[in-house]
Amino acid sequence: MMLRVLALSLTLFTGFVQATVLQRPVTLDTGSGELFGSLLLPKSDTPVPVVLIISGSGPTDRDGNNTDGGRNDSLKRLAWVLAKHNIASVRYDKRGVAASLAATPDERNLSVEAYVADAEAWGRKLKSDPRFSQLILLGHSEGALIATLAAPSVDAAGVISLSGSARPVDQVLRQQLSNHLPPALMQRSNELLDTLKAGHTDDNVPPPLQGIFRPSVQPYLISLFRQDPAAAFARLKMPALIIQGSNDIQVGVGDARLLKAAKPDAELALIEGMNHVMRIVPIDVKRQLASYKDPQLPLAAELGTRILGFIDGLRTR
């Protein structure tokens, strides 16, 4: 861990409770590259729960920001919500992203398995730290799958799936693309999805589909399409919380209900009006897209309430 303090201890007031929070950089040597993250640690005389926050797909960094989608600081703001309530967190840049780019600079070498191994290594690091009590894995969007797959091997106390899909991602892509592509491109898209699902690459990608199916990302997609999120979720033995917003234009309430059906003892929180970046935003394309680039928008209040309630429940188990 780097010893330099990014920010001096910050005194935060929540109601009548005063909490001092240290913000420090943290690193993880994976043996195949170094990963960089941020620790928020409330000052406490006793060990506190720690949440490992795992970001979503593509070049999404530790704060929830994506070079393709803009800055919204969703995961950074969520980490501070936790810190104000005496819960530590670590959020990190995935290999190949932002400060961790050098760990895997060529996206052809990325895989779900490598992301899971990294999350497991972070989990082991946190579990061995005497400052922490329970370890909770929280994954957002595609990160929910990574959290689900990593949780058993680190014996996590709980798993939080935030805007996570229940269906294999190739099915999700078929649905999303069918709403936007003309018939000819949709046919070619389905052919590419079939090929990748079968474990093979295909370099014949039309220019309009390069963003999704470019040859360099196909090995990662093959590893991703092998996963069945609902089946993995069903195998979890620890308590789990499913959170889904009703106004999420990327992942639907139906996926949350499928996850609940896969693991009936999981808690299900459907937050009215919340979108994919955890803000209350109407179903309006312009306002939805604007929210992805507005870090000043407050997080949905119920989001923090449900997560805090779940973690408080773990403490009493």
Confidence tier at 189 by pLDDT (50, 70, 90): very high
Rounded mean pLDDT, 294-301: 97
Average pLDDT, the chain: 93
Confidence tier at 19 by pLDDT (50, 70, 90): low
Q: Answer yes or no: is pLDDT of 61 > 80.
A: yes
Rounded mean pLDDT, 31-39: 97
Q: Which of 24, 114, 97 is nearest to 62 (CA)?
A: 97
At 150, which amino acid appears? A
Dig out the tokens for 1 from the structure.
Answer: 């861990």
Confidence tier at 70 by pLDDT (50, 70, 90): confident
Whose tokens are 């929830």? That residue is 64
Q: Answer yes or no: is pLDDT of 41 > 50.
A: yes
| Cβ pair 122, 28 in contact under 8 A | yes
Q: Answer yes or no: is pLDDT of 8 > 80.
A: no
Domains of the chain with bracketed CATH: 7-168+234-315 (3.40.50.1820), 170-226 (no CATH)
Q: Answer yes or no: is pLDDT of 17 > 90.
A: no
Could you read off the pLDDT of 144-168 as tens digits, one per residue? 999 999 999 999 999 999 999 999 9
Which residues lie below 8 Å from residue 182, measured CB to CB, with a gap of 6+? none
Rounded mean pLDDT, 268-274: 98
The predicted structure's pLDDT at residue 170: 96
Which residues lie below 8 Å from residue 188, measured CB to CB, with a gap of 6+? 206, 209
DSSP 127-166: HT-TTEEEEEEEEETHHHHHHHHHTGGGT-SEEEEES--S
Q: Answer yes or no: is pLDDT of 12 > 70.
A: no
pTM greater than 0.85 (yes/no) = yes
Residue 89 parent element (H or E): strand 88-92
